[in-house]
Structure 1
Amino acid sequence: MIAALVALSAVLGFGVAVGTGTASAAPVRQTWWLDGCGMPKVQVHAWTRPGNYKTVIALDGLRATNDKSGWEYNTRIQDMASSGVNVIEPIGGMASFYSNWDAPSNLNGQKYKYMWSCVINNRLIPMLDQKGLAVGPAHKYAIMGISMGGSSAMIIGANNPRISHLFSMSGYLNLSAPGMRTAIRVAMLDAGIEAGMGPFNSDSMWGPPWSGRWYDNDPFVQINKMHNKKVRIGAGGGFWGQYNAVGSVGDFIGNVEGTPLEQLAWAQTRAFQVQALVNHVPITTDFPIVGTHTWGYWSDMVWRAKNSGWFHD
């Protein structure tokens, strides 16, 4: 657990941005701006195509940046828009857990309170409705995320009747488990320091560790809100594979740190699997033996979900 706590503050790397289609039959890439519910305006990148059968909102990880989503930097999941699934990527939200916070983060002098749940539920989804992107027979949305965004996707999806599909990849799905609140505290402190923004305070997010808001935002505790939802979870076994090439000392350190991070996510995701079984919530799973806390493995998880038909209603 000590190794996992230290590793949970690791940096997720970023890569190269990709292009988009422009022909009438090809996906269209768009940039939208949303009212931030008291935060600065939120940028959204979208890849859409008429006739697609589902729209998915893709959430970033702990070290989200304000220019592009990690999904766009590191993967080509936007290519799903060429074959059925519109991809929507909100930009930003570092260390936010995509939640409405109790107060601005006081340790780094943040000028505003994070209000990400408001942005996604009350700004983004109504905009998607207006643009006719509630496609498919159910006219509802999918939401997915990695790491921090994985647990966030589960909570947002569980509480929003406009969302039918929930997908967590390497998410921490039992935040009330012993040691997890300390792990989250350490990770949020480190994320802000590494980004030059100063440490984020988890007490400003959901209150002190004994606050009930930690339970409100714990997918494990909120499992019974996921009945009648289509739920998918996944995590790697922590073993190195094709996305763990070592070309520098930084690559080696990132790979080493990614192993305990993923093993902790695997343990938490397996615990959630048992919780779903006990509470009769049907789920699908993706537990490859090979896979660390790295974007390439998450991209593969998304494509496996799509190719299996999971995004269909």
Structure 2
Amino acid sequence: MHRLPRCLIVLIAAFTVLLPAPATAEPGGSAIVEVRPLGGRQFEVVVYSAAMNRAFPVWVSHPGGPAPALYLLNAVDGGETGGPWTNRTDVAQFFADKPVNVIQPIGGRASYYSDWVADDPALGRNRWSTFLTAELPPLLENHFGMTGRNAIAGTSMSATSALNLAIEAPHLYQAVGSYSGCPRTSDPLARAYVHSQLGFFGANAGNMWGASDNPAWAAHDPILNADRLRGTALYISAGNGAAGIHDTLTDPSIGGDVGRLADRMAVGGTMESIVRACTASLTDRLAALGIPAHVVHRDGTHAWPYWQDDLHDSWPVFAAALGV
């Protein structure tokens, strides 16, 4: 068990008076450190993870009464550099009138939001699965009065993470959204793809799931474990890498910049074509198992405007599963 750092003990004491209601630490020392109102239904909640011995900011949109929760995971940078959902999309405005708590942790770059087998020199200690499934939900449910019904969605790297978290924590999530993810991790090409993603951040995928023969790779392959998604509402989307409705000079995300459009088509188009093949492997496996899923195949690249569309489009699927 990690001991709570002395500086964090001081922070907890100092911020206690700022909390709308007392925060209760969970076994092991995880605790809400601060709740900072951002206006309207938005809050920044600082949560200390005992598993990682670090505190993380968590953006929460709270409707003001008991309601289920939708967890949104950021892309490969964890929302730390390129920007989180709240900066890249209209998530705050879209959910402003909806009876659901929207929860977005900031952090976890290149982590696949997983529990790693070893600490990494570049990323430190990653116990994101523990944080997201065991530490964070009860703290937020106690503080904000949530109902215990949850959905989770992710994009790019974290689309695989959302699927894996639902597999690892049965019955925690009633719905899962996978937007432009590559849900293959255990075959040689898939492992090479994962290594390349983490290597861009200076991290070693061997510290995440071990050597290539470590069973953790297969354990985190949603295609191999697809049967464990049975009974969960699924929304799965991917583009084909060809130019779509947001890949034009007039799209606000391009803003008339020819270079930006060329880069999106070259990089985002290539990435999304790979994603489409990975996604097809998952949806074919689900169909073979007789597991229903709402599947969206579209033109388009690997880009945030499409993930905003996916979030809007998947909300009815999540709402039905959450009972709102």
Instruction: Give the TM-score taking structure 2 as reference length.
Output: 0.79
Q: Distance in 2 between matches of 1:39 and 1:65?
A: 20
Partner Cα distance (1:231, 1:34) in 2:
31
Residue aligned with 1:265, SS: helix
2:42·2:59 contact (CA, 8 Å) conserved in 1?
Answer: no
Separation in 2, partners of 1:67, 1:237: 26
Aligned residues of 1:69 and 1:90 also touching (Cα < 8 A): no
Q: Does 2:48 match 1:37? A: no
What percent of counterpart residues are identical? 23
Distance 1:131 1:312, change over 3 A: farther
CA contact (8 A) 2:264 2:301 kept: no
- 1:236 partnered with 2:232: no
Unaligned runs of 5+ in 1: 1-18, 193-198
Mapped contact 1:68–1:91 kept (Cα < 8 A): no
* One-letter identity of the residue aligned with 1:311: A
AA partner of residue 76 (structure 1): D
Q: 1:51: how far off? A: 4.9
Of 198, 201, 206, the match for 2:204: 201
Distance in 2 separating the partners of 1:40 and 1:302: 29
Q: Where do 1:31-180 residues align within 5 Å?
A: 31-51=45-65, 53-66=67-80, 70-79=84-93, 80-106=95-121, 108=122, 110=123, 112-135=124-147, 139-160=148-169, 161-180=171-190
Mapped contact 2:268–2:303 kept (Cα < 8 A): yes
Max radius of gyration: which structure?
2
Deviation at 1:235, TM superposition (A): 0.7
Query: Which residue number corresponds to residue 277 of structure 1?
Result: 287
Q: Greater relative contact order (Cα 8 A, min sep 6): structure 1 or 2?
A: 1
Residue 54 of structure 1 and its aligned partner are, at CA, apart by 3.4
C-alpha separation in 1, matches of 2:82 and 2:198: 20
CA RMSD of aligned residues (A): 2.2
Give 1:52 deviation, angstroms.
7.0
Structure 1 residues 38 and 63, CA, compared in 2 at 3 Å: closer, same or farther?
Answer: closer
> Where in structure 2 are there 5+ consecutive unaligned residues?
1-36, 248-253
Measured after TM superposition, the shift of residue 149 of structure 1 is 0.5
C-alpha separation between the residues in 1 aligned to 2:103 and 2:275? 24
Match of 2:196 among 186, 194, 200: 186
Q: Is the 8 A contact 1:236 1:262 kept in 2?
A: yes
Please say if residues 68 and 92 of structure 1, whose CA atoms lie closer than 8 Å, have aligned partners that are also in contact: no
Contact 1:45–1:89 (CA<8 Å) still a contact in 2?
A: yes
CA distance in 2, matches of 1:41, 1:74: 23
Cα displacement string for residues 108-133 of structure 1 (whole angstroms, at most 9, x for unaligned residues): 4x4x3211111111211111221355
Q: Is the 8 A contact 1:67 1:92 kept in 2?
A: no
Contact 1:142 1:164 in 2 (8 A): yes
1:153–1:69 Cα change, 3 Å: farther
- CA positional deviation for 1:20: 6.4
Q: 2:262 aligns with which of 252, 275, 280?
A: 252
Q: TM-score, normalising length from structure 1?
A: 0.81
Distance between the aligned counterparts of 1:28 and 1:214, measured in 2?
A: 37
